[in-house]
Chains A and B, each alone.
Chain A
Amino acid sequence: MGANLFRNLSFFSATLSFFLLVGIFAVLFTYAQQSMQEFGFDFLLTEEWEADEDDEGGIFGGYIPIIGTLLSTLIAMTIATPLAMGIAIFLTEIAHDKIVKPFSIAIELLAAIPSIIYGMWGLFYFAPIVQLTIGGNGVGLLTAGIVLAIMVIPYMAAITRDSMNTTPDVLKESAYAMGATKFEVIKDVVMPYSKGGIIGSIILSLGRALGETMAVAFLIGSIMSIPKSITDPTTSIPVLLANNFAEAQDLEISSMYYLALILFVVSFAIISVAKFYFLGRNK
């Protein structure tokens, strides 16, 4: 193999991720056309999702899955953020060196468990607890949100820990020397120093939570209705796609491509902001 061929092959491979991204956007956009022309931007605010009797048309609106996605993610982030911060603080500032390693490995293993396992465990072991203590019939927004939180915590904690670890010891030692307590050092030295990384890790986890499918599919209830209370079942974009995409046709499947496009564009935007604005990967 000639040197030029090798170089060209590696160049071709490198451009592939660019073409993949453009390709995904183009394919989703093309297949969503039918629905986009029929419903336009009203799609975002339409609650109905009904096929006509003859299966040829109908009214399809994305409001319910969009709201379900946003609410379950919001619940997850509300729970995950303080816990992940706590874990990161524990790992960087509190725990003894000997404990840090096994704890870090355990947290990272938690991140490696496939999402379908979270969903299944959540359905059989966690949903009944939510039903007993808070109410509802077990599956619903709250259960999905909590299990989603458990899923993103290790991810968020790991990135936050890494950025907290970049705080120079000299800065912390100076604050301690002035008589600051550990909490004051964390609040006034570590947090401000690693602010970008912490915000980035939260936004990145948000982007991941939006697109999470399997854990939520078991737990959100998969019903096309607007939740009236936090324990009510509803659906989300990934869950609707997971359960109904393969059987849909014509305008309905086009509407699902529309939803997939919305999810793709929104998570792309969120993840980009997190990575390049806050996490400073733009070397």
Chain B
Amino acid sequence: MNRLVLNKVVLVLSTLSAFIGIGFLFWILITLAYKGMAGLSFSLFTKDLVEGGIRNLLVGQFTMALMATAIAVPLGVMAGIYLREYGEESKMTSVIRNLSDVMTSAPSIVIGVFVFALLVEPFGTFNGWAGVVALAIMMVPIIIGTTDNMLALVPKELREAGIALGGSKKQVILQIVLKAAKVGVTTGILLSFARIIGETAPLLFTSANNQFFSMDLTDQFPSLTVSIYNLATYPDEASRQLAWSAAFVLTAIVLFINLVGRYVTRHKQ
């Protein structure tokens, strides 16, 4: 084939694949909007699953994700601080950094199995705490990674200036380094929250699901994503409609948090 023709062919094919990718994004989003909005109503947000609404599911999903964030943020940020500020050169630091990097891609269903063995089987019942722990386990490595990377961007001179002023290492880290990396670290937390709020696999047999409103984390706990999975496979039209509406709300939340995270990074740094 003529090399100029070959060039054209490859360029056209590449452009085409980009449009195929965008095409799928719009296909999925338009489908979601079209099917999901048909079932949107005020009562969707005021009724619980048992009466055909998603109030308890939203509250349940957010409760678990927020509790997981409360556990994962201090652990993840502290670990990130250790890796970047204390143990920078050692062999062990590099091993830990690599392991937590790999953990960010660990299959989420396996984390569900692990937490089931630890927190469900011994107590004989699905419970919200197990769901919280499973989500936290998914979240910690992501936060470690972003914190580590964001702290690395803080110039060394800032740290030296802090020490020159007589600050202790701890003061320098908390009052100078962490402050300088604030936006990046917060964005990392926000994006990891967006990721775990849409997780289903680690919740299937940890929190499982609950049709009723519940704030009792020691028992089966309502989950939006697990409900979508169940509802979508029921044969009746009402359940499917509810699944579409719930899916639409979930996607809107996840994409909104992502866009906020992106906007903040672009305008504050």
Question: Which of A's residues lie within 8 Å of B, judged by CB?
Answer: 1, 3, 6-7, 9-18, 20-21, 23-24, 27-28, 31, 82-87, 89-91, 93-95, 103, 105-110, 112-121, 123-125, 150, 153-154, 157, 181-184, 186, 204, 207-208, 210-214, 217-218, 238, 241-242, 245-246, 256-257, 260, 263-264, 267-268, 271-272, 275-276, 281-283
Contact = CB atoms under 8 A, between A and B. Distances in A.
Nearest to A272: B102
Contacts, number: 254
Interface stretch (B39-47, B48-56, B107-115, B157-165): B107-115
A93 B126 CA distance: 51
B20 interface: yes
A183 B118 contact: no
A281 B111 CA distance: 24
B185 interface: no
Contacts of B258: 108-109, 112
Given A120-B243, A275-B98, A238 B107 contact: yes
B22 A281 contact: no
Interface string B90-123: 0001111011111101111111111011100000
A90 B201 contact: no
B111 A181 contact: no
Given A105-B262, A208-B105, A217-B229, A17 B110 contact: no
Contacts of A218: 232-233
A20 B103 contact: yes
A110 B25 CA distance: 6
Q: What is the size category of the interface that chain B forms with chain A? A: 35 or more
A113 B256 CA distance: 11
Given A14-B82, A116-B200, A31 B103 contact: no
Contacts of A112: 194-195, 254-255, 258
Contacts of B106: 24, 211, 264, 267-268, 271
Contacts of B95: 18
Interface string B249-269: 011001100110010000000
Contacts of B254: 112-114
